[in-house]
Amino acid sequence: MENYTIEDLNQAAMQIILHAGDCRKVLNDALNAVYEDDMAGAEKKLKIAKAEITEAHRLQTAMIQGTIMDENQPTSLLFTHAQDTLMTINSELLLVKHMIKLYKKLEDKING
C-alpha cells in the first residue's frame, strides 16, 4: 500500500489488534491443552496462533511500507498501540512455544 489515509491506518490498526488478540486467546487455549495433557491439541493451537500473529504482522508491514515512499504519511496513537500490542503478543507466542518445549522435555525425563 503506497498511500493511505488516516482512516485506512486506523482500520489496519484495529485489524492488527484483533488478530493479535485472537493469537493471545489461542495461546491460552494451547496452554490449557497442555494442562489437560493434550499435546497434539496444543501444537494445533500454536499453528493457529502463529497464523494470527503473521496476519497482524503482514498488516503492520503494509502500513509501514507506505512510509518508504512518502515520509509524510499519517500516523496515529491507535496505530502505535496496535504495534505495541502486536509485539507484546508476539513475545507471548515465543514464550508459550518455549514453555511447551520445556514441558515436553520434562515429561520425557520423568517418563523416560
84 marked ligand binding residue: yes
| Residue 57 designated active-site | no
Instruction: Count how many Cα atoms sit within 13 Å of the Cα of residue 24 in the half-sphere of its side chain.
Output: 13
Handedness of CA 78, 84, 89, 94 (dihedral sign): positive
Position 36: which residue type? E
Residues contacting residue 13 through CB under 8 Å, at least 6 positions apart: 76, 78, 79, 81, 82
Q: Which of 19, 57, 81, 98 is catalytic?
A: 81
Active-site residue set = 81
Annotated binding site for Mg(2+): 84
